[in-house]
Structure 1
Amino acid sequence: MQHRRLDRAAGVALAATLILRAAFEWGAGPVAGHAASLSAVVALALLARGVDRTRQAFLLIGLVLVAAAFATLPDAGAAVTRAAGSAAFIVAFFTALSSLRGAAVTSAPIAECGRFLADQPPGRRYLALTLGGGLFGIILLYGAISLLGSLAVESARSEANAEIRGHRIRRMLVAIQRGFIATIPWSPLTFAIAISTTLVPGASWGGAVLPCLVSGLILAGTGWALDTIFKPRLTGPRPSYATPDGTWGAKMRPLLILLAVLAVSIAGLHLLTGIRVVGVVMVVVPVLSFLWIAEQDVLDHRPGVIRDVAGRAWRFASVEMPAMRSEIVLLAMAGFIGSLGASLAAPFVASAGIDASALPPALLLVGLFWVIPVTGQLGMNPILAASLLVPLLPAPAVMGIDPAAAIVAITSGWALSGATSPFTASVMLIGNFGGARPTHAGLAWNGMYAACCGLLLTGWILVAASIL
């Protein structure tokens, strides 16, 4: 009973963080921002109970850095306040996006759409699941891999030949994962865009979306090309497969309509109000989520629509969100540690005489791109890597480059880390579904893919730095 009360209190604090941070983004003033930071700290304190030792270590590191800041920095209060604001932003953004995932899991048409993609015959299956991983990833984040991965494994179990079944599961899972990570560089509903556009002075989603879409196309196209070129050789004849019932238009329509509504609502409000895209997302996504739940009730002829939506909202806040305590603590503390760590590191970098502005901007961007996936192999979350490193670099205006070029480098490295780091949710999920260790799923399944994408994205970053 005590645990349930603490979870409910944590859920209320998470909801308050979302509301207050959204109000701050919409111009409510610094009081709302500080209140959001306070409620985020309360939520993290309540959620700390029951997390594993890794997450507890993150919390301990955060406390150590706070002590170090007050011991060494003349503006320690401002640095800690910025770090708490970063954690509050991440908590609010994650809460908003999770509300959409909660609405999607009860939608029968969305599940049917996923099953239709998983049941495609071999000639179309990789592209279908790459498309599905991308489209579902926009609304479900890592939940897209969970949903499509479970459907893919379920579909593959009907294959009697163990050799074919093994190849099929692996290829389906990496197709889903690569489709998902192809959205990381450009979707406004990803942490890569939300964090990087906050860290890079002068950056915005509207200014970076087109070059970042090129990164997404490179990630998706390279995966399809490698799968086509290096198809596994079978010891026996290839079996024939039936085409699933239904047409593409009919099966994909619910998902495409949802994405269209999201795109029009977010882009429209952003253009009309001038509010940052991430601030618009914090309002639009939860509202659409609860409207979607109401629509499901109406279509299923359930009585008491308002009561059901209110009940679902309370369950989401008090049960579903606290159940994701491990993810919330990891993400929020990564932002907090990265922000405060950058404030602590800045004086040492300056006293050491390191002048990054003397280096060629293209070299800095390529180095930033590669350091994110490399440190990912050591367990560093991309949020932590970006929050720690980007503030130490010269602003784009100082380097003489467009902020969009910096966003291309950061988000591309973020995506590559998501494909290879054994510590990321995407790699752990496909490894779990495929019965492989995360290190094997990240490097053996995606090693060549990462190397090819890395070279192509390096070239694109150099081009972007020169033409933007």
Structure 2
Amino acid sequence: MDAATGTLLVLVAIVVTLDEWDLHGAFVLIPFLVVALVALLAIRVARSRQAFVLAALVLTGVAMAVLPDWQQTVLRGLGSAAFIAAFFAALTTLRNVAESSPAIRAAGTFLAEQPPGRRYAALTVGSHLFALLLNYGAISLLGNLATTSAAQEPNAEIRRHRIRRMLLAIQRGFVSSLPWSPLGFSMAITNALIPGARWADSVSAGFVSAGIILVAGWALDTIFKPRLSVPPPPRGPVEGSWGLLRPLLVLLVLLGVTVSVLHNQTGVRIVGVVMLVVPLLSLGWALVQHRGGALAFSKRDRLVRYVTRELPGTRGEVTLLMMAGYIGTVGGPLLGPVVAGAGIDLAALPTWAVLILLVWLVPLLGQLGMNPILAVTLFASIIPAPEVLGVSPSAVVAAIAAGWAISGICSPFTATTLLVGSFARVSALHVGLRWNGVFVGVLGGLLSIWVLIYAFVIG
């Protein structure tokens, strides 16, 4: 069953990639592949994930009873679920190869061992860079290295503060990639939902949002630096040099240049280029790793383990993401008449109010347990079109992506807070509200101001 699940995920990724490259005949297979994949996933996931599958089935029944064009709506929902599964599978290839790279682990260890004066800055910028390659794997890798390093500190007070500050640096560095990274679901989904939006137009605003997150996090960490009851002991020199980050930077440059050139030359959507380039780059990297028998396992064993163990091992996350995309896509047309019947018309609000609402909508819904993918896809249908608001599509994308990043910091139901909480041995709610409460308020205000400046002055 695991082998069948992994194989179906690979097939979905191949078919969706072919469709992105305008081989439309392949897309007819998508509904059948998605239904078979979800059926296999639903058997093996926890009940909390099965609840999402049940909700999708109920919503499908409601759509059949209410919507005259329910077939097209359901097909769009299946297409959304397929795209999310394909994008996820493509990104896991890079994470698979990176996890077996001694150079990547050495770079992470070097960042985690930095002295207190520059540890936060090193970890938060490093986490931002690692997130571009590893996605959530960046938090897992750096979080494990950080807690292992902190565990060597004999003073319990210093150890507790060190773990908290290191994990917050990693979390905030990760979410700072969400407003601009072409390898993140935030940009891939938001640009697909907002009419006229393109990643190339939105990336500049996202860069500034990322900078605001990084600088604001560092500033608050510096301002609220804990006062210790005893002075910290002297630390020895850090082993290694900043040159250990060179392989990571080379990979990022290679990936960025390849994706940009192909996107500009072919006109294929950036996500379609990413879904082709990332697996090919991962394959080339794996061949380099295996050259001369450097690894204890063969290329064949690696491929088999990836399809039959690693991909199926993400079944819970894949089910949640796929169902979030499906429920949001199918539920959107059902939500529109309900909102209109309640007399709610976002187009009647001032444009600045709508943009600020978009910044805060995803974080607020995240407190209620709503996944960002579900929140954005569900409410995209009631967001006024950019031309109605009188702003560029990239301004709307900037507002939603900013809110997506804030949700990754404070929502107790997102993978980022859950992972950080597990490393710190505290609850995700504690991480989101106690550790990050002040940061969320400051960051939300700064990003709201930036979104308005971009919409009305720059964008």
State if a TM-score over 0.5 links the two structures: yes
- Among 391, 406, 416, the alignment partner of 1:416 is 406
Q: Which amino acid aligns with 1:428?
A: L
Q: What's the C-alpha RMSD, in Å, of the aligned pairs?
A: 1.4
Counting matched residue pairs gives 458
> Paired residue for 1:93?
87
Q: Which amino acid aligns with 1:27?
A: D
- Among 326, 342, 359, the alignment partner of 1:336 is 326
> Paired residue for 1:362?
352
Maintained 8 Å contact 1:118/1:155: yes
How far did 1:402 drift?
0.3
Maintained 8 Å contact 1:34/1:85: no
- Among 1, 7, 14, the alignment partner of 2:2 is 7
Maintained 8 Å contact 1:376/1:423: yes
1:8-157 mapped onto 2 (5 Å cutoff): 8-29=3-24, 31-157=25-151
Q: Which amino acid aligns with 1:74?
A: P
Taking the aligned partners of 1:64 and 1:427, their CA distance within structure 2 comes to 30
> Paired residue for 1:325?
315
Q: SS where residue 236 of structure 2 aligns?
A: coil
Q: SS where residue 172 of structure 2 aligns?
A: helix
Q: Which amino acid aligns with 1:275?
A: V
Q: Which amino acid aligns with 2:3?
A: R
User: Deviations 1:423-465 (Å, cap 9, x if unpaired)?
Assistant: 1111011111111111101111111111100000111111122
How far did 1:409 drift?
0.6
Maintained 8 Å contact 2:386/2:392: yes
Give structure 1 stretches of 5+ with no counterpart: 1-5
Moved more, 412-421 or 397-406: 397-406
> Paired residue for 1:3?
none
Q: SS where residue 167 of structure 1 aligns?
A: helix
How far did 1:353 drift?
5.1
- Among 225, 234, 259, the alignment partner of 2:228 is 234
Q: Which amino acid aligns with 2:186?
A: A
Moved more, 98-107 or 395-404: 395-404
Taking the aligned partners of 1:301 and 1:348, their CA distance within structure 2 comes to 60
Q: Which amino acid aligns with 2:420?
A: I
Taking the aligned partners of 2:158 and 2:258, their CA distance within structure 1 comes to 44
1:455 and 2:445 matched: yes
> Paired residue for 1:381?
371
> Paired residue for 2:281?
288
Taking the aligned partners of 1:246 and 1:376, their CA distance within structure 2 comes to 40
> Paired residue for 1:208?
202
- Among 267, 276, 290, the alignment partner of 1:274 is 267
Change (3 A) 1:330 1:254: same
1:401 and 2:394 matched: no
Q: SS where residue 244 of structure 1 aligns?
A: coil
Maintained 8 Å contact 1:119/1:243: no
Taking the aligned partners of 1:76 and 1:396, their CA distance within structure 2 comes to 26
How far did 1:295 drift?
0.4
Maintained 8 Å contact 2:366/2:407: yes
Change (3 A) 1:294 1:226: same
How far did 1:393 drift?
1.4
Maintained 8 Å contact 1:11/1:43: no
Provide TM-score, normalisation by structure 1.
0.95
Taking the aligned partners of 2:131 and 2:114, their CA distance within structure 1 comes to 19
Q: Which amino acid aligns with 1:13?
A: L
Moved more, 99-108 or 338-347: 338-347
How far did 1:303 drift?
9.9
Change (3 A) 1:356 1:34: farther
How far did 1:391 drift?
1.7
Taking the aligned partners of 2:90 and 2:200, their CA distance within structure 1 comes to 21
Taking the aligned partners of 1:184 and 1:243, their CA distance within structure 2 comes to 34
Maintained 8 Å contact 1:290/1:313: no
Taking the aligned partners of 1:143 and 1:355, their CA distance within structure 2 comes to 40
Q: SS where residue 159 of structure 1 aligns?
A: coil
Taking the aligned partners of 2:225 and 2:52, their CA distance within structure 1 comes to 42
Q: Which amino acid aligns with 1:441?
A: V
> Paired residue for 1:165?
159
Maintained 8 Å contact 1:7/1:47: no
> Paired residue for 1:444?
434
Moved more, 83-92 or 36-45: 36-45
Taking the aligned partners of 2:258 and 2:116, their CA distance within structure 1 comes to 36
Provide TM-score, normalisation by structure 2.
0.97
Taking the aligned partners of 1:144 and 1:448, their CA distance within structure 2 comes to 24
Change (3 A) 1:351 1:34: farther
Taking the aligned partners of 1:149 and 1:447, their CA distance within structure 2 comes to 21
- Among 346, 349, 362, the alignment partner of 2:336 is 346
Maintained 8 Å contact 2:202/2:394: yes
Taking the aligned partners of 1:40 and 1:217, their CA distance within structure 2 comes to 38
Change (3 A) 1:362 1:33: farther
Maintained 8 Å contact 2:110/2:241: no
User: Deviations 1:148-195 (Å, cap 9, x if unpaired)?
Assistant: 001001111111110000000000000001000000110000000000
> Paired residue for 1:255?
248
Identity %: 50
User: Deviations 1:135-159 (Å, cap 9, x if unpaired)?
Assistant: 1111111111110001001111111
How far did 1:352 drift?
4.8
User: Deviations 1:197-223 (Å, cap 9, x if unpaired)?
Assistant: 000010011000001111111111100
Maintained 8 Å contact 1:362/1:461: no
Taking the aligned partners of 1:103 and 1:433, their CA distance within structure 2 comes to 23
- Among 186, 193, 198, the alignment partner of 2:187 is 193
> Paired residue for 1:390?
380
Maintained 8 Å contact 1:372/1:417: yes
Change (3 A) 1:345 1:301: closer
Give structure 2 stretches of 5+ with no counterpart: none
